[in-house]
Structure 1
Amino acid sequence: MITIHYQAINLNEKLSKFNNLWSPKVIGEMNNYQFKLIKIAGDFEWHSHQDTDKVFITLEGEMIIDFRDGQVKISKGEMFILPKGIEMKPSSEKECHIMLVEPRSVNNDGTESELTAANDTWI
């Protein structure tokens, strides 16, 4: 029998539980998809996710995603769906809070590098 907890997830409360940048934290799952919170600032590396699309929802601040042929700004209250396989370089001038929606097994940089965050870290 599955136990259901009838309690809303408070995004601000979850965000207050960590300070490290570029390290997604899982706050929920649905149909093998995870909802993750992440804090970013500065530049990340160029990378792509070959096997899955990604959803970025900006909760606070503004993020920029550079592509080899363009750029998108995602401001507070906006979302962007990135198709799989497109090379990108996310960044933010000031600290920005984002919700990611992606399959359970996806890591933050699409590969294994010194910037790879621990996967499946719940808060």
Structure 2
Amino acid sequence: MSPAPINLAQKLSTFHEHYQPRTVGQFNGHDLMVVKAKGPFNWHRHDETDDFFLVLSGRLRILLRDGEVALGPGDLYVVPKGVEHCPVADEEAHILLIEPQGTPNTGDPATAAARVLI
């Protein structure tokens, strides 16, 4: 049986919550996730892994303690591990995230969103 392609727009249409990533697939020990962003997230860092963002639609700003990165559709940015950052979307943005399986989205397992597979 051949696997079906993953349609990211269709997956994004199945939920409305912001900053609640949904896992749409896995590869090499990593989760492929989509998330809807709107407003500011919280300042956080990932001590064990880089943080990959690919903007599918909308605009996303990633605030850093020493500046800001502005992303639009098709732009990607990797926040290096250990760097504190805060994603902000002034209007709703749709993002593809790639992280090692089990990485807490807040950098802290106690405050992280539960992983949801769709």
TM range (shorter): over 0.9
1:51 corresponds to which residue? 48
1:122 corresponds to which residue? 117
Shift of 1:74: 1.2
Query: Is 1:81–2:72 an aligned residue pair?
Result: no
TM-score, with structure 2 as normaliser: 0.95
Q: Which runs of 5+ in 2 are unaligned?
A: none
Q: Deviations over 1:2-24 (max 9, x none)?
A: xx543111111100001111000
Q: State how far apart, in whole Å, the 2-side matches of 1:45 and 1:102 are.
A: 18
Q: State how far apart, in whole Å, the 2-side matches of 1:5 and 1:57 are.
A: 27
Q: State how far apart, in whole Å, the 2-side matches of 1:37 and 1:28 are.
A: 10
Q: How many residues align?
A: 117
Q: 2:20 aligns with which of 19, 23, 46?
A: 23
Q: Deviations over 1:64-119 (max 9, x none)?
A: 01011011011101111111000001100000000000100101100123xx2112
1:8 corresponds to which residue? 5
Give SS of 2:10's match. helix
Q: Which runs of 5+ in 1 are unaligned?
A: none
Give SS of 1:47's match. coil
The ranges of structure 1 where at least 4 consecutive aligned residues each deviate by more than 4 angstroms after the TM superposition are none
Q: State how far apart, in whole Å, the 2-side matches of 1:33 and 1:78 are.
A: 20
**Structure label with greater radius of gyration:** 1
TM-score, with structure 1 as normaliser: 0.91
